[in-house]
Amino acid sequence: MRQTVRPAHSLRGVIVPPGDKSISHRAAILNAIAAGEAVIENFQRGADCLSTLRCLRRLGVQWEWQDASRLRLTGAGRHGLREPAAVLNCGNSGTTIRLLCGLLAAQPFFSVLTGDASLRSRPMARLIEPLREMGARIWGREDGTRAPLAIQGGALHCIHYRLPVASAQVKSALVLAGLYAEGGTVVQEPAPARDHTERMLRAMGAQVAYGEGPNVAVSPLTQEMSALSLRVPGDISAAAPFIVLGAVHPDAEIRISGVGINPTRTGILDALRMMGADVSVEEERTWGAEPVADIVVRSSQLRGAAIGGELVPRAIDELPLLALAGCFAEGETIIRDASELRVKESDRIQTTASTLRRMGAEVEERPDGLRLCGPQRLRGKALSSHGDHRLAMMAAVAGALAQGETVIHNSNVVAVSYPWFWRDLEALGKG
Ligand code: S3P
């Protein structure tokens, strides 16, 4: 499929983004090992979270849709997962494969995890090495560094481990393994990555300490966790294309309602404010263990900024959009400390630079990020999504801000995290 994007004269309207992808995965996986029934509202029905649900069904977990986004899931209990009769296909989803790998390393059966070509090329050693230190038996291609992964689950012992990279997926995998290990597991993060797993586990009754200092400490489960019904906040990563679009467009006022504003995820707001954007957070409330608000963004004059350090894990999936914002900002924008972008669904340093360059921007690609000077003019072009949902959405926003028409090929990849993205983008231009 391909999608054509043209610049709109003005952008007005309200966006309701899909449920948070990270929280939806966790709501399914954690409730799968709890006792009782959970009703999860606003569950994200993108391809990645559906991969998680399909894997869970193969592990013997029962779930059903009660309506388009309300999921009822019956927990199997902490020892209730069953050996899957077939390979578990995680599709494009890094969160599915990594969290399940940690969980399955501790289950007394054999399982195999695989995914699409992108996922099979992504690094798994970061996860397998500490899990092996806990006693896990895991094998993978290329000397245990790539999926498919074969796991012979069994008894684990605790670990005190310092993560070499800030990764919520690896942290969560080790925490899940730690729930079944002998002794207390401690994971130290170089910088805070999203803490949805920790929040949800605590709300379900597990013993997890986090939030003070760089350590997450988890004790093994001594009793069943209670099922947790919740309403999933809107995904700030799905809101981000519209936040950047509204800030850069000369005539825009966009409200994005019901967005999760967990501080480990709001780097996009901090970075844009640093760049001078008019973004406000209104009607703050709490859904389950997570803070939620409406985000209102208006046309702004942006200036360049240096984005690095602790901001990077808090804005990891939004960095391509911040590079795009930099094209329209006065002065220099530098994104650094972000070499993790090279091992996402695509090499996002390279795919961001090539997308912006194709549209006429001058962008310097660096080993750990990007540098560009603005303001620059973008011209509409035929673009590839690079098979990466975040890149497709960044290209769409670039197209809406460029001169002329932009065509995005393989545009349906947005369904990985935001199935109705094209409809929402179009509606804004008519608002
Ligand atoms: C995610 C964590 C991040 C992020 C990904 C989702 C999660 O990955 O990029 O989209 O749900 O835990 P890393 O933990 O590998 O940085």
Q: Which two tokens stand for residue 310?
A: 């602790």
Which of 49, 163, 316, 348 to mutate to test ligand 1, by most ligand atoms within 8 A of the CB atom? 316
* Cα 44 to ligand 1 centre (Å): 16
Contacting residues for 249 by C-beta, under 8 A, at least 6 apart? 8, 10, 11, 299, 400, 401
Rounded to an integer, what distance in angstroms lies between the CA atom of residue 131 and that of residue 381? 45
- Cα–ligand 1 centroid distance for 226 (angstroms): 25
Residue 354 tokens read as: 């090539």
Q: Is 300 in the pocket of ligand 1 (CB under 6 A)?
A: no
Tell me whether residue 317 is one of the annotated catalytic residues. Answer: yes
Inter-CA distances, 249 with 156, 197, 397, Å = 53, 36, 10
**Alpha carbon of 239 to ligand 1 centroid (Å):** 16
The closest of 109, 163, 99 to 137, measured between CA atoms, is 109
Task: Give residue 340's pLDDT.
Answer: 97
Query: What phi and psi values does residue 105 have, to the nearest 5 degrees?
Result: -60, -25
CA of 120 to the centre of ligand 1 (A): 16
Side-chain half-sphere CA neighbours of 127 within 13 A: 34
Sequence-ordered strand ranges (E) for 22-145 = 35-41, 62-65, 71-76, 88-89, 110-114, 137-140
How many residues are listed for the chain in this entry?
Answer: 431
**Distance in angstroms (rounded) separating the CA atoms of residues 171 and 293:** 26
**Residue 431 has what pLDDT?**
66
Query: pTM value?
Result: 0.98
Secondary structure (3-state) at 340: helix
Does residue 431 contact residue 13 with C-beta atoms inside 8 Å? yes
**Residue 25 alpha carbon, nearest atom of ligand 1:** 11
- Ligand 1 pocket: which of 30, 93, 95, 265 to mutate (most atoms within 8 A of CB): 95
200, 202, 203, 204: CA torsion to nearest 10:
90
**Averages of pLDDT over each 10 residues, the chain, 431 residues:** 95 97 98 98 97 98 97 98 98 98 98 98 97 98 96 98 97 98 97 97 98 93 98 98 98 98 98 98 96 98 98 98 98 98 98 98 98 97 97 98 98 96 94 66
Instruction: Give CA 297 to chain center in angstroms.
Output: 22
**Residue 90 phi, psi dihedral angles, 5° rounding:** -90, 5
Ligand 1 proximity of 200 Cβ (cutoff 6 Å)? no
Question: Which residues pair with residue 86 across a beta bridge?
Answer: none
On whether the CB atoms of residues 200 and 8 are closer than 8 A, the answer is no
- Cβ neighbours, 10 Å, residue 171: 25
**3-class state of residue 282 by DSSP:** strand
Region class of 75: left (phi > 0), else alpha (psi between -120 and 50), else beta: beta
Which among 30, 93, 167, 199 is the best mutation to test ligand 1's pocket, defined by most ligand atoms within 8 Å of the CB? 167
CA–CA gap between residue 376 and residue 385 (Å, rounded): 22
Q: Which atom of ligand 1 is least distant from the CA of 313? A: 16
What tokens were used for 125?
Answer: 């050693």
Cα 341 to Cα 348: distance, rounded to the nearest angstrom = 5
**Radius of gyration over every alpha carbon of the chain, rounded to an integer in angstroms:** 21
CA–centroid distance, residue 380 to ligand 1 (Å): 31
User: Strands 406-409, 2-5: parallel, antiparallel or unpaired by DSSP?
Assistant: antiparallel
> Is the minimum distance from the CB of 26 to ligand 1 under 6 angstroms?
no
Whole-angstrom Cα distance, residue 90 to residue 47?
10
Ligand 1 neighbourhood includes 52 CB (under 6 angstroms): no
How many whole angstroms separate alpha carbon 121 and alpha carbon 346? Answer: 10
346 touches ligand 1 (CB under 6 Å): no
Which DSSP string do the residues of 291-318 spell out, in sequence order?
EEEEEEEE----B--EE-TTHHHHTGGG
Token pair listed for 413: 């990849």
Side-chain half-sphere CA neighbours of 371 within 13 A: 7
Look at ligand 1, atom 9, and give the residue with the nearest C-alpha: 317
Distance CA(327)–CA(384), nearest Å, equals 19
Kindly report the backbone phi and psi dihedral angles of residue 391, in degrees, each rounded to the nearest multiple of 5, phi listed first: -70, -40
The residue among 149, 138, 84 whose CA lies nearest residue 114 is 149
